[in-house]
Structure 1
Amino acid sequence: MRKFLAGILLLGIGAGAFWFTGPYWPEIASTIPTLKKAVEDIQGLHVVKSDALPKEEVPMVIARHLQNRDQTFTIKYKVDPQIINKYQEVVGTERKNQITKEIDLEFKRLFDHALREDEYLEHVIEKYTCRWTYSDWTKEVTLYFDEIVYRESKQETEAVDVVAERLVDKLIRPEMTEYQKVKKIHDYIVNHVKYVLVDNGREKNTAYTALFEKRSACYGYSMLAYKMLEKAGVDAHIVTGKAIADFNDGKLVGHAWNLVKIKGQWYHMDVTFDDPIGPSDAQKPFYDYFLISDKRIKKNHFWNPEEQKYDMPVAERSYPR
């Protein structure tokens, strides 16, 4: 019995020695990485490694791409489980249609949230297209953004930031009231920017053209006002809608202007409409559209609060003159 046990023990040691030192080890060892990879591949059939983002991170990533002025980009994210659970019992075409509708709404919320983080950015984007695909297997949506056209390049917006800040430092004094700051900025833009929509075949409708070329249409007026007010520490918004303009034969046209907050109250300010358009650029600014109420501006300005990317405040009254 002792000889038998000793034989087993020696056989085990011998076998171990042979496995590690035997002449066939290089051939055997070379197959281990391949075997390991095969096992991982088999496991991968059951465990899908995903690069999808959590839904909460999507607005920040969209905003980052837009701020970089990327013309195309792709984002993958996990669908809200509530959407999937909501239609768990629905099958076929009905399930597809319902989930499609939900994802459309979810995309709008995510995109609006991205623009809420940078209101100026919304108005830099002239147009874009976005399509998406959804995998019911992985419960993931892939967004494909392309054909994005920007009114301003990243470098132009950076230049606007630098020069607008210098201007505000020059124009605004610490002892000024909010009203005085707003009026100073209003008058500066009216006195230094000429209303031009197209010049030499190129559209002039950005804060950059207003600031550096002294020419712009309403978008440039309102975007520059927004930037300067922001740097002066005054709360402001850009409003987009339509307006009836005397200088445009009384036609209803797309338009942009500002909302400004003074002493806790909001007022409309349309710098474009307060800029005299005529043979002389030396005319004094108008104040017909300076710090006025919803009721007053609605005579020829029209907008849908739900189309703004922020919770649009109410301008209950005009600023006392």
Structure 2
Amino acid sequence: MKKQIVILTILFILTNINTAFSLESYDYYINPIYQHLINQNQIRIERPIRSGLRSVTCNSYEEFKEAVKTRYNQRITQFKIQLKYDFVFSDVKNIVAQVHDEIMGEDDYLRFTFTSRKTTMNGYDSNVEVIFTMKYLTTAEQEQQVNDRVAEILNEIISQDMTYEEIEKAIHDWVVKNVQYDTSGQEHSAYAALFLGKTVCQGYALLMYKMLTEAGIETKIIDGTADDGSHAWNMVNICGNWFHVDATWNDPIPDQPDRVLYTYYNLNDSQIEGDHTWERSLFPLATTEYFEGEICANTFTIVGQIITDLPGYETGVKGAAIDLYGPDMSTTSDSDGNFTLAQVPEIEVDYLLKISAPNFRSYTQALSSVPARLDLGIIKLEIGVMAGTFSQEELDLAIMQAVEQKNYVISQKIAELDALVTENDSLSQTYLSLLADYSQLDTAHSEMTSLYSSLNQTYKALSNDYTQLNAQYSDIIDDYNVLSSENDDLNNWVTIFDIHNDRQIGIHEAINALKCATQMPQ
């Protein structure tokens, strides 16, 4: 019985040890961009934690970061994540802050659309429940409306033959013409810019960022100062050159429909630093002076078989694309930017060559009378692009070089595959080891379950025995009480009998005495 009590006590302690040392902590963070809109006291007292929040479990830092990022992008205002990996509770606040900073550092749009974060942390080392309470400028539904409207606008103002330089100008002009500055200072989002028609500098910068990004132009949002006040504007990468664009300051106040200024359009650092300041170490340098039409010239030069003079292009850029428009002509490419012409018809026709690369919108040139035997021209977008007429010797050399290149690529892929096979073997061994450990643990778990079941059966049997013995004891007590009562009655009868007997003895003695008296001689 004592052994059973000890086992049950141990099970109870093991069940409750996790909650016995639970810790709690809080963190409050306000986006510095919007610190004038909200204070920490507001964060502390508002938005109580909702009951029934669903939790997701993360077993690593990477899983935690991905889970938080997903919920940020979905604009979820309150969510719960269970962290279960190797850390100490005192580090959780820093872990949450690091995850938050990394996510915001990777996405300027997201960084400018959240206002505050409150986190509640409960648990202990290696097991903590983190509850996020977030505030954003917009809801998920509003952001979807922004995405849909931006797609509509870009479809209206952009055509396929436009360069990145032309696209940037079209987007800038649309924003300046269709948005006015919110002098009340209440609206800060791209949603407000699109659907209310007004916003402050953050909204201008956010809308520019969204439209430029969707159009394939790399851009950033700067949170700096201008005229001694906080201010936001954009940087854009056009054909490999960074420029500053301040759509807010290019929009006159009061708003004048269809009037667009270019005072703060595509400026370099030295041109804008007179009235704009920013943390330069956080942003790329802008050193090129902008001249419209020269940054991304829509021409190139063919010298012999080499296309040269590609403005804004640097060697080593990958991810380029070459399209040839003409009867039955196509291209293929590999990850290093090599291109092969194929399916050239047996007649001389005119083709249009279009070259595109990251930040390198399009270069087009008509190539007249392309030879019919140009069926294996190797094109590499580096110093120049091979084009034009190939002799049979050049064609054979191109074929040999192509084969050698492909063989090299194949050998590299085989080496990578061998490495993956080796890694897979190692992972398989680890998996088998873990599977064996799991099997042992499963066996131990089954044994413990069986032991617990046996102990539980014993406990139930003892409980039944105890109940029966207790009932028998009650019956004995009842019998004892009856016997005790009957014994009292018997004792009473004995007493009566003794009294009666004493009387009988007295009577006999009296009779004997009387007899003796009557028998005395006369």
The TM-score, its normalising length taken from structure 2, stands at 0.43
Distance, in Å, in 2 between the alignment partners of 1:149 and 1:167 is 28
Deviations 1:248-295 (A, max 9, x none): xxxx222111111101111111100111113x6136211111111122
Instruction: Determine if the alignment matches structure 1 residue 295 to structure 2 residue 284.
Output: no
Q: How does 1:247-258 map to 2 (within 5 A)?
A: 252-258=228-234
1:283 to 1:172, Cα distance in 2 relative to 1, 3 A? closer
Distance, in Å, in 1 between the alignment partners of 2:79 and 2:270 is 43
Distance, in Å, in 1 between the alignment partners of 2:85 and 2:278 is 33
How many residue pairs get aligned? The number is 250
Deviations 1:153-207 (A, max 9, x none): 11111000001011101101111111110011001111111111438xxx22211
- Asked whether the 8 Å contact 2:57–2:84 carries over to 1, the reply is no
In the other structure, the counterpart of 1:65 is 71
Distance, in Å, in 2 between the alignment partners of 1:283 and 1:167 is 16
Distance, in Å, in 2 between the alignment partners of 1:74 and 1:207 is 28
In the other structure, the counterpart of 1:181 is 167
- Asked whether the 8 Å contact 1:55–1:80 carries over to 2, the reply is no
Distance, in Å, in 2 between the alignment partners of 1:141 and 1:43 is 18
Q: What SS is found at the alignment partner of 1:127? A: strand
In the other structure, the counterpart of 2:60 is 54
After TM superposition, give the deviation of residue 103 of structure 1 in Å.
Answer: 4.9
Q: How does 1:1-321 map to 2 (within 5 A)?
A: 51-78=57-84, 100=90, 103-132=92-121, 135=124, 138-146=125-133, 148-198=134-184, 203-244=186-227, 252-278=228-254, 281-282=256-257, 284-304=259-279, 312-321=283-292
Distance, in Å, in 2 between the alignment partners of 1:134 and 1:295 is 52
- Asked whether the 8 Å contact 1:52–1:140 carries over to 2, the reply is no
**Which structure 2 residue ranges, 5 or more long, are not aligned?**
1-7, 20-55, 293-522
After TM superposition, give the deviation of residue 218 of structure 1 in Å.
Answer: 0.7
After TM superposition, give the deviation of residue 119 of structure 1 in Å.
Answer: 3.0
Deviations 1:22-56 (A, max 9, x none): xxxxxxxxxxxxxxx999767767999x9453111
Q: What SS is found at the alignment partner of 1:112? A: helix
Amino acid of the residue matched to residue 195 of structure 2? F
Distance, in Å, in 2 between the alignment partners of 1:141 and 1:288 is 53
1:211 to 1:109, Cα distance in 2 relative to 1, 3 A? same
Q: What SS is found at the alignment partner of 2:291? A: coil
Q: Percent identity?
A: 27
Q: What SS is found at the alignment partner of 2:204? A: helix
**Which structure 1 residue ranges, 5 or more long, are not aligned?**
1-36, 85-98, 245-251
Amino acid of the residue matched to residue 190 of structure 2? A
Distance, in Å, in 2 between the alignment partners of 1:45 and 1:51 is 21
1:40 to 1:315, Cα distance in 2 relative to 1, 3 A? farther
- Asked whether the 8 Å contact 2:84–2:128 carries over to 1, the reply is yes
Deviates more, 1:102-111 or 1:188-197: 102-111
- More relative contact order, 1 or 2 (CA 8 Å, 6+ apart): 1
Distance, in Å, in 1 between the alignment partners of 2:17 and 2:59 is 20
The TM-score, its normalising length taken from structure 1, stands at 0.68
Distance, in Å, in 1 between the alignment partners of 2:105 and 2:85 is 21
After TM superposition, give the deviation of residue 302 of structure 1 in Å.
Answer: 1.9
Amino acid of the residue matched to residue 213 of structure 1? L
- Asked whether the 8 Å contact 1:276–1:283 carries over to 2, the reply is no
Deviations 1:129-157 (A, max 9, x none): 2354572xx334543322x2211111111
- Asked whether the 8 Å contact 2:57–2:81 carries over to 1, the reply is no
After TM superposition, give the deviation of residue 79 of structure 1 in Å.
Answer: 6.0
- Asked whether the 8 Å contact 1:197–1:205 carries over to 2, the reply is no
